[in-house]
């Protein structure tokens, strides 16, 4: 990645200390999304290795993954599929429980949203512990999709999420790293 993109990312991502609780540095991408140049360049960079490779769907994780994923799908001329918190999708779903910092939650995917062997890209704004993305990959693999890569704008490498996803056989692509939580 060229250094001007890194600078654009650094300047457009807002840091909010102690949100949502003390000790967490929240990496706020709403400022990136609101900046035309930063939004376009991030989406271009995320999809760059995959254009012309036959990706059929971009799968976004609720909620910030929807915004990035919709733009990525448009760019790749492919479909978009949402993975949502439980109870939000109206048709027949597959579900998986995943751990949050306190307790567990469930996410769902429409059973007919992806097909066996279909090449898909997964996207979210940020990978921390990797628990959220790991659950999403497992749902997609359960339906037989070929998860070509998992893409994130931000990696928090100290939390080890990348390895969890790579251990499922899925390469991880991220644009910028921040140390700490």
Residue spans of beta strands (DSSP E) within 18-171: 25-28, 57-61, 79-85, 93-99, 104-110, 119-127, 146-155
Residue 42 binds to ligand AMP (criterion: CB under 6 A): no
Between the two ends of the chain, the Cα-to-Cα distance in Å is 24
| Strand, helix or coil for residue 127 | strand
Smallest separation, CB 27 to ligand AMP (Å): 4
**Is 64 an annotated catalytic residue?**
yes
Task: Build a one-symbol-per-residue string for 146-165: x at contacts with ligand AMP by CB under 6 A, - elsewhere.
Answer: ---------------x----
Residue of 41, 57, 64, 162 that binds ligand AMP (CB under 6 A):
64
- Residue 143 has a CB neighbour count (10 Å cut-off) of 17
Q: Which stretch binds ligand AMP (CB under 6 A): 36-44, 115-123, 129-137, 141-149?
A: 129-137
Tell me how far apart the alpha carbons of residues 109 and 140 are, in angstroms, rounded to a whole number: 8
- Is residue 24 a contact residue for ligand AMP (CB under 6 A)? yes
- Among 89, 130, 151, 175, indicate the residue that binds ligand AMP (CB under 6 A): 130
Name which of 45 and 124 has its Cβ closer to ligand AMP: 124
CA dihedral of 41, 172, 53, 93, whole degrees rounded to 10:
-100
Write down the number of H helices and E strands in the chain. Answer: 6, 9
Is 27 annotated in the active site?
no
* Nearer Cβ to ligand AMP (58/118): 58
The reply on whether position 59 binds ligand AMP by CB under 6 A is no
CA distance 19 to 24: 6
Where in the sequence numbering do the catalytic residues fall?
64, 101
Q: Which residues bind ligand AMP (CB under 6 A)?
A: 24-27, 61, 64, 124-133, 161, 181
């Amino acid at each position: 990645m060229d250094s001007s993109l890194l600078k654009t990312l650094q300047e457009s991502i807002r840091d909010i200390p102690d949100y949502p609780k003390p000790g967490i540095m929240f990496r706020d991408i709403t400022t990136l999304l609101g900046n035309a140049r930063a939004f376009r360049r991030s989406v271009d960079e995320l999809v760059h290795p995959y254009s012309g490779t036959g990706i059929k769907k971009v799968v976004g994780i609720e909620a910030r993954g929807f915004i990035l994923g919709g733009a990525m799908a448009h760019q790749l001329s492919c479909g978009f599929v949402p993975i949502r918190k439980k109870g939000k999708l109206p048709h027949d779903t597959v579900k998986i429980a995943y751990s949050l910092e306190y307790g567990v939650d469930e996410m769902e995917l429409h059973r007919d949203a992806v097909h066996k062997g279909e090449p898909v890209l997964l996207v979210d704004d940020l990978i921390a512990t990797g628990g959220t993305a790991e659950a999403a990959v497992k749902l997609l693999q359960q339906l037989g999709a070929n998860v070509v890569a998992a893409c994130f704008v931000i990696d928090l490498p100290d939390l080890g999420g990348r390895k969890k996803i790579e251990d499922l056989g899925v390469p991880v692509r991220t644009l910028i790293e921040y140390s700490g939580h």
